[in-house]
């Protein structure tokens, strides 16, 4: 019997660092690699999906395993990332052939990749059929694709049997024979599937599905049958969720679980557990709508208030409508989950590849200034949009070429086997087997671009304080020697996020252009690109490094702004004005997701009144057309103190962008971004 | 009609119900020693100098017609006696180190600024609060603004010291949904000593106002060395207990604002005593209740 969670927590958080894989339980990395090499030599013309499935089976049947008697779940298989190594070998080979004669890309203008990580299986199928059922479903049909699917699910059953033998665990024994029937079995299956997916496609931010909708029947049945108490369910959930933290140690991304819009007893229980755990992973996404009960909203907001920054709330009605407009059936639109940070997709029906490309809106400002003089601001704005247009064309083209390589780089029989449409069509996800095949294109640095263009409009064309050439010279010198002009640009021109029509109007122009330009661009998998408006810190820093000084006063190399927020410290009119600015944008043009970050001072957000304040902010944002919102609640003094004494504030969390982390785990320059924001608030 | 404004503060959650926008008006008949908005006291426009933000560029001195900005030994100071508050330096300052207190704004402009956040008022049961200073020194402006806002369905609250002639109340009463009414002390001698004025008119006005059917929230600033003791609080609670239409009492803990005195060049009169602790605030709240006041009593501080 495992210990109470609180007593075991320290070990559980270290479980992947400390895992001991018994040598007797399987082959070493060298031996596994040798078997793979032999197999490939003997089968030189084997379809790649079969080679991957074969390797998957090798790892499941002969990889070393570790079991922990003090755990409710078993999941540790030593796979040495061999499937990923194989994928990367193929990727290098294919990309070399495809891209070798390409001219060099414009540094920092866009990023375009093959995104195989933003996925979500149809969790319903997993829970309905189990590994055995999904194996049998594929085995009943013939062809290379079905063979590969049956092989990986059979391998999963083999692995389940090995775990069951190593650790007398009733959940495991059951899953070797049939679909899950209890809450424990369902969680065990979900976690093992999660691990196998990571083994197949690498670490990424996949969705864990609509948690309360999927798992409540198991929980309720257990309670009814007297197999489980509420407290035992909490313990199971804690042992389950802590694994997600143990995987990331709070440092990167994390996995989202979705709640609502209909809620049930499990929704409430889950938020109680989450609040008790005070943990940065996993992430909980909540679909909020008119039907959300008030007490549930208060529970969610209470968690946010208590410092659980892993929560994002989304505007359910608006999201459903947006998905309908982007071509989904109503039934499918209602069944959306959020993949990655906030990227909507139909659960198990859509492969949204939301991370396919990123577009640097600020780089285009730099480029339009370099492009020469323009007679009017309208001319300059038109030239700016033409540059964006060309950046989008180049990025989309690169993604399409990458996507055409996908079947030869990374077929995913495990994921495909859990998606109905792949099964019906006999096509792997890499071949466009999903019902909806979309690719994301997210625009980064909206505040930088809008603020910079506003500076040009006001100082150059309206007030004629300087000519473009002077501004160009100042930026070329990284503002050195032009401090007065820089201060004028910073403090005398309105900034995005203050409900000012001059600069907000520019942001509206940019975003309307993006929606029109991106949303119907075809991808190479039979679907289309979809626009997104968020920028995670990784992209904001990477693009920022490659972007020179900007008219908004930003220095060369500094990170770009994240998501839809203002430049740190520049949203001086506060939260309501920021929301008023952001909701001037037609956000339904961003079906691949967008989010607003809100920073509140504790004096505004404390106590029972604070819960009402936060709830009202969420509801007001949604009433004005906002799509998703996330919170940080702290003051600058607390952050400074935490910077000086990380040991005392080990559990202080901050919402960074698409994910949240412990403040202490941020780099000093990243910490500064939040301190600047908090000081301004 | 124009008003003289100090500031417009959005997402205000301690000045009446829900999420509100508080419009601060300049000028006050009282001279409370603990005042945390010293820039609000004088009815005349003033320039505030926030030393911390100054970059020492000297642009302010160049445009100043009276020589009020002085740079000596690398230190910048503002001679408030020479300053005629023309505001040229505020325009010139690129570091936001100078602020203009008392800008003019029309009723229509103020209403438009308030209405920007109407969704937030609707979702939270909030609205607009006029504060100061003493907003009712500009009662005509207040009444016009409230009239306009009420037409738009906005809840209007008046945050007042009560230290104005009763006729002033009549001007705003038809358009006010809630009064936030300061009661500082029932002892007149102490009241004179610490605020410069008698409390008689304030308490008389309160009695008259309470009979007019508009809800009133009493607000008691709790100031160490003045009323932050159980005896004073009990004395203050007594007259409140019999009054109709009192919807609650809120204790506002004293907090320091010394830098603001420095910014506007006023002599710092704030008491040199530590702000009340949460434990003391809890005791004071209790004293209020045990003295006879039976309505809801809250504290704007987590106890």
Q: Which candidate from A484, A499, A616 shows the least CB-CB separation from B123?
A: A616
The answer to whether the beta carbons of residues B166 and B198 sit under 8 Å apart is: no
Whether residues A491 and B18 touch (CB distance < 8 A) is answered with: no
B198 CA: distance to closest CA in chain A (Å): 33
Alpha-carbon gap, residue A527 to A521, rounded angstroms: 9
Name the residue in chain B with its Cα closest to that of A574.
B10
Average pLDDT score over residue span B5-34? 95
Q: Which of A612, A618, A624, A679 should we substitute to test contact with B (largest number of B Cβ atoms within 10 Å)?
A: A612
Q: At which residue do the structure tokens 């990571």 appear?
A: A198
Whether residues A491 and B10 touch (CB distance < 8 A) is answered with: no
Q: Is residue A458 predicted with pLDDT exceeding 80?
A: yes
Whether residues B120 and A491 touch (CB distance < 8 A) is answered with: no
pTM comes to 0.95
Average pLDDT score over residue span B97-113? 97
A322 CA: distance to closest CA in chain B (Å): 22
What confidence tier does B258 reach under pLDDT thresholds 50, 70, 90? confident
Name the residue in chain A with its Cα closest to that of B59.
A484
Query: At residue A645, what are phi and psi to the nearest 5 degrees?
Result: -125, 70
The answer to whether the beta carbons of residues B288 and B297 sit under 8 Å apart is: yes
The answer to whether the beta carbons of residues A657 and A341 sit under 8 Å apart is: yes
Give me the pLDDT at residue A250, please: 80
Alpha-carbon gap, residue B132 to B114, rounded angstroms: 16
Name the residue in chain B with its Cα closest to that of A493.
B94
* A132-141 pLDDT, tens digit each: 999 999 999 9
* A546-581 pLDDT, tens digit each: 999 999 999 999 999 999 999 988 999 999 999 999
Query: Poorest-confidence range of A455-469, A539-553, B95-109, B288-302?
Result: B288-302
Whether residues A616 and B19 touch (CB distance < 8 A) is answered with: yes
Per-residue CA distances from A293 to A201, A234, A262, A269 (Å): 38, 22, 9, 15
Asked if A607 has any chain B CB less than 8 Å from its own CB, the reply is yes
Whether residues A604 and B11 touch (CB distance < 8 A) is answered with: yes
Using a CB-CB distance cutoff of 8 angstroms, which residues of chain A are in contact with residue B91?
A: none
* A593-644 pLDDT, tens digit each: 999 999 998 888 988 999 999 999 999 999 999 999 999 998 888 888 888 8
Give me the pLDDT at residue A652, please: 82
Percent of chain A with pLDDT over 70: 100
Name the residue in chain A with its Cα closest to that of B125.
A616
Q: How far apart are the first and last CA of chain A?
A: 49
Asked if A577 has any chain B CB less than 8 Å from its own CB, the reply is yes
The answer to whether the beta carbons of residues A392 and A441 sit under 8 Å apart is: yes
Q: Which of B120, B127, B281 should we substitute to test contact with A (largest number of A Cβ atoms within 10 Å)?
A: B120
Q: Which candidate from B95, B119, B120 shows the least CB-CB separation from A487?
A: B95
Mean residue pLDDT across chain A: 95
Q: Which candidate from A490, A491, A616 shows the least CB-CB separation from B120?
A: A616
Paired strand residues for B221:
B252
Average pLDDT score over residue span B83-92? 96
* A382-440 pLDDT, tens digit each: 999 999 999 999 999 999 999 999 999 999 999 999 999 999 999 999 999 999 999 99
A433 CA: distance to closest CA in chain B (Å): 44
Q: Is residue A379 predicted with pLDDT exceeding 60?
A: yes
Alpha-carbon gap, residue B140 to B130, rounded angstroms: 13
Task: Please tell me whether residue A533 adopts helix, strand or coil conformation.
Answer: strand
Q: Is residue A22 predicted with pLDDT exceeding 80?
A: yes
Whether residues B19 and A606 touch (CB distance < 8 A) is answered with: no
DSSP B39: G
Give me the pLDDT at residue B301, please: 59
**Number of CB pairs, chain A paired with chain B, less than 8 A apart:** 58
* A248-270 pLDDT, tens digit each: 888 777 899 999 999 999 999 99
Whether residues A576 and B117 touch (CB distance < 8 A) is answered with: yes
Tokens (6 digits) for B159: 């945050």
Whether residues B10 and A609 touch (CB distance < 8 A) is answered with: no
Mean residue pLDDT across chain B: 93
Residues contacting A681, CB < 8 A, separation 6+: A574, A575, A599, A600, A601, A635
Name the residue in chain A with its Cα closest to that of B14.
A604
Q: What DSSP line would sit under A81-99, residue for residue?
A: THHHHHHHHHHHHHHHHHH
Q: Which candidate from A487, A499, A619 shows the least CB-CB separation from B116?
A: A499
Asked if A463 has any chain B CB less than 8 Å from its own CB, the reply is no
* A182-227 pLDDT, tens digit each: 999 999 999 999 999 999 998 888 999 999 999 999 999 999 999 9
Give me the pLDDT at residue B274, please: 84
Q: What pairing do the DSSP bridges indicate for beta strands A596-600 and A529-532?
A: unpaired
Q: At which residue do the structure tokens 């859509």 appear?
A: A350
The answer to whether the beta carbons of residues B220 and B202 sit under 8 Å apart is: no
DSSP H or E run through A147: helix A144-166
Q: Is residue B193 predicted with pLDDT exceeding 70?
A: yes
Q: Which candidate from A488, A577, A624 shows the least CB-CB separation from B94?
A: A488
Using a CB-CB distance cutoff of 8 angstroms, which residues of chain B are in contact with residue A490?
A: 94
Higher per-residue pLDDT: A550 or B293: A550
Asked if A458 has any chain B CB less than 8 Å from its own CB, the reply is no
* A148-176 pLDDT, tens digit each: 999 999 999 999 999 999 987 779 999 99
Using a CB-CB distance cutoff of 8 angstroms, which residues of chain B are in contact with residue A482?
A: none
Per-residue CA distances from A377 to A400, A411, A600 (Å): 34, 49, 36
Using a CB-CB distance cutoff of 8 angstroms, which residues of chain B are in contact with residue A617?
A: 19, 120
Paired strand residues for A311:
A284
Give me the pLDDT at residue B303, please: 44
Whether residues B124 and A612 touch (CB distance < 8 A) is answered with: yes
Q: Is A85 left (phi over 0), alpha (psi -120 to 50) or beta?
A: alpha
* B211-240 pLDDT, tens digit each: 999 999 999 999 999 999 999 999 988 888
Ranges of beta strands (E only) in A21-152 are: 64-66, 76-78, 110-112
Q: Which of A616, A622, A636 should we substitute to test contact with B (largest number of B Cβ atoms within 10 Å)?
A: A616
Q: Is residue B177 predicted with pLDDT exceeding 70?
A: yes
Whether residues B57 and A484 touch (CB distance < 8 A) is answered with: yes
* A43-93 pLDDT, tens digit each: 999 999 999 999 999 999 999 999 988 999 999 999 999 999 999 999 999
Using a CB-CB distance cutoff of 8 angstroms, which residues of chain A are in contact with residue B117?
A: 576-577, 580
Whether residues B119 and A624 touch (CB distance < 8 A) is answered with: yes
Average pLDDT score over residue span B93-115? 96
Asked if A484 has any chain B CB less than 8 Å from its own CB, the reply is yes
Using a CB-CB distance cutoff of 8 angstroms, which residues of chain A are in contact with residue B57?
A: 484
Q: At which residue do the structure tokens 């810190």 appear?
A: A537
Q: What pairing do the DSSP bridges indicate for beta strands A76-78 and A64-66?
A: antiparallel
Q: What pairing do the DSSP bridges indicate for beta strands B297-299 and B246-253?
A: parallel
Using a CB-CB distance cutoff of 8 angstroms, which residues of chain B are in contact with residue A574?
A: 10-11
Asked if A574 has any chain B CB less than 8 Å from its own CB, the reply is yes
Query: Poorest-confidence range of A102-111, A374-383, A428-437?
Result: A102-111
Q: Which candidate from A487, A604, A619 shows the least CB-CB separation from B123?
A: A619
Give me the pLDDT at residue A674, please: 84
Using a CB-CB distance cutoff of 8 angstroms, which residues of chain A are in contact with residue B19?
A: 576, 613, 616-617, 620
C-alpha A113 chain-centroid distance = 15
* Residues written for chain A: 681
Give me the pLDDT at residue A656, please: 78
Using a CB-CB distance cutoff of 8 angstroms, which residues of chain A are in contact with residue B18?
A: 612, 616
Alpha-carbon gap, residue A424 to A604, rounded angstroms: 54
What confidence tier does B298 reach under pLDDT thresholds 50, 70, 90? confident
Alpha-carbon gap, residue A13 to A378, rounded angstroms: 56
Give me the pLDDT at residue A650, please: 75
């Amino acid at each position: 019997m495992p210990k109470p969670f609180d007593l075991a927590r320290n070990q559980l958080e270290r479980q992947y660092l400390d895992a001991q894989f018994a040598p007797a339980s399987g082959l070493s990395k060298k031996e596994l690699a040798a078997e793979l090499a032999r197999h490939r030599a003997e089968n030189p013309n084997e379809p790649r999906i079969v080679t991957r499935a074969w390797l998957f089976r090798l790892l499941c049947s002969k990889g070393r395993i570790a079991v922990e008697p003090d755990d409710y779940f078993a999941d540790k298989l030593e796979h040495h990332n061999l499937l990923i190594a194989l994928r990367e070998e193929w990727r290098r080979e294919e990309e070399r052939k495809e891209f070798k004669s390409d001219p060099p890309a414009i540094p920092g203008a866009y990023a375009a990749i093959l995104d195989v990580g933003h996925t979500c299986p149809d969790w319903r199928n997993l829970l309905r059929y189990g590994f055995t059922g999904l194996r049998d479903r594929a085995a009943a049909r013939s062809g290379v694709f079905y063979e590969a699917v049956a092989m990986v699910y059979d391998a999963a059953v083999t692995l389940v049997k090995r775990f069951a033998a190593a650790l007398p665990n009733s959940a495991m024994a059951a899953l070797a024979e049939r679909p899950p029937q209890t809450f424990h079995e369902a969680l065990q299956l979900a976690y093992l599937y999660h691990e196998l997916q990571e083994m197949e496609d690498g670490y990424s931010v996949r969705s864990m599905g609509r948690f309360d909708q999927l798992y409540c029947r198991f929980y309720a049945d257990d309670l009814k049958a007297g197999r489980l108490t509420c407290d035992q369910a909490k313990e199971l959930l804690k042992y389950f969720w802590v694994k997600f933290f143990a995987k990331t140690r709070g440092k990167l991304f994390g996995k989202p679980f979705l709640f609502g819009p209909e809620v049930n007893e499990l929704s409430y229980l889950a938020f109680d557990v989450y609040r008790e755990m005070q943990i940065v992973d996993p992430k909980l996404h909540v679909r909020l709508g008119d039907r959300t009960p008030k007490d549930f909203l208060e529970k969610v907001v209470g968690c946010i208030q208590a410092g659980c920054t892993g929560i994002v709330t989304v505007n359910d009605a608006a999201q459903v409508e947006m998905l309908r407009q982007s071509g989904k059936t109503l039934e499918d639109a209602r069944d959306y989950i959020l993949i990655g940070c906030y990227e909507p997709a139909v659960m198990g029906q859509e492969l949204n590849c939301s991370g396919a490309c990123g577009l640097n809106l600020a780089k285009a400002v730099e480029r339009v200034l370099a492009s020469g003089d323009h007679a009017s601001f309208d001319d300059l704005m038109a030239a700016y949009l033409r540059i964006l247009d060309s950046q989008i064309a180049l990025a989309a083209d690169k993604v399409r070429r990458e996507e055409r390589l996908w079947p030869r780089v990374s077929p995913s029989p495990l994921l495909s086997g859990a998606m109905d449409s792949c099964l019906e069509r006999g096509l792997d996800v890499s071949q466009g087997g999903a019902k909806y095949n979309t690719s994301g294109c997210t625009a980064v640095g909206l505040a930088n671009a809008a603020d910079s263009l506003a500076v040009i409009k006001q100082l150059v064309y309206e007030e004629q304080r300087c000519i473009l050439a002077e501004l160009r010279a100042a930026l070329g010198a990284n503002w050195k020697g032009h401090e007065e002009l820089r201060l004028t640009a910073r403090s005398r021109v309105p900034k995005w996020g203050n409900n000012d029509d001059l600069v907000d109007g520019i942001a509206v122009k940019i975003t309307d252009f993006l929606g029109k330009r991106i949303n119907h661009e075809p991808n190479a998998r039979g679907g289309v690109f979809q626009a997104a408006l968020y920028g995670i810190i990784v992209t904001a820093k990477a693009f920022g490094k490659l972007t020179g000084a900007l008219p908004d006063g930003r220095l060369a190399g500094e990170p770009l702004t994240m998501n839809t927020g203002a430049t740190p410290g520049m949203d001086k009119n506060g939260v309501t004005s920021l929301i008023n600015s952001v909701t001037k944008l037609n956000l339904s043009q961003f079906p691949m997701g967008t989010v607003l970050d809100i920073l509140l001072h504790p004096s505004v957000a404390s106590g029972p009144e604070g819960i009402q304040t936060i709830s009202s902010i969420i509801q007001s944002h949604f009433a004005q057309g906002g799509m998703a919102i996330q919170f940080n609640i702290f003051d600058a003094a607390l952050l400074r103190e935490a910077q000086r004494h990380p040991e005392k504030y080990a559990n202080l969390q901050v919402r960074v962008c698409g994910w949240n982390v412990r403040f202490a785990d941020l780099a000093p320059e990243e910490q500064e971004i939040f301190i600047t924001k908090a000081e301004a608030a | 009609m124009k008003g003289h404004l100090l500031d417009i503060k959005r997402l205000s959650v301690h000045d009446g119900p829900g999420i509100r926008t508080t419009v601060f008006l300049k000028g006050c008949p009282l001279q409370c020693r603990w005042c945390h908005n010293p820039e609000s006291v004088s009815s005349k426009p003033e320039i505030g100098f926030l030393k911390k933000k100054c970059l020492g560029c000297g642009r302010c001195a160049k445009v100043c017609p009276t020589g009020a900005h002085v740079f000596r030994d690398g230190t910048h100071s503002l001679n408030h006696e020479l300053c005629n508050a023309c505001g040229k330096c505020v325009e010139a300052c690129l570091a936001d180190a100078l602020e203009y207190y008392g800008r003019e704004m029309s009723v229509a402009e103020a209403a438009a600024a308030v209405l920007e956040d109407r969704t937030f008022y609707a979702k939270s049961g909030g609205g607009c609060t006029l504060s100061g200073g003493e907003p009712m020194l500009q009662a005509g402006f207040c009444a016009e603004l409230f009239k306009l806002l009420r037409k738009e369905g906005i809840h209007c609250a008046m945050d007042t010291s009560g230290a104005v002639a009763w006729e002033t109340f009549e001007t705003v009463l038809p358009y006010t949904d809630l009064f936030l009414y300061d009661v500082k002390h029932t002892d007149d001698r102490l009241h004179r000593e610490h605020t410069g004025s008698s409390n008689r008119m304030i308490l008389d006005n309160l009695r008259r106002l309470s009979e007019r059917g508009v809800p009133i929230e009493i607000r008691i600033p709790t100031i160490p060395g003045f009323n932050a003791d159980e005896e004073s609080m009990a004395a203050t609670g007594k007259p409140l207990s019999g009054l109709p239409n009192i919807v609650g009492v809120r204790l506002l803990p004293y907090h320091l604002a010394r830098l603001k005195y420095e910014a506007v060049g006023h002599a710092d009169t704030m008491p040199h005593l530590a702000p009340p602790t949460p434990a003391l605030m809890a005791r004071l709240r209790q004293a209020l209740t045990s003295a006879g006041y039976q309505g809801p009593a809250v504290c704007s501080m987590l106890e």
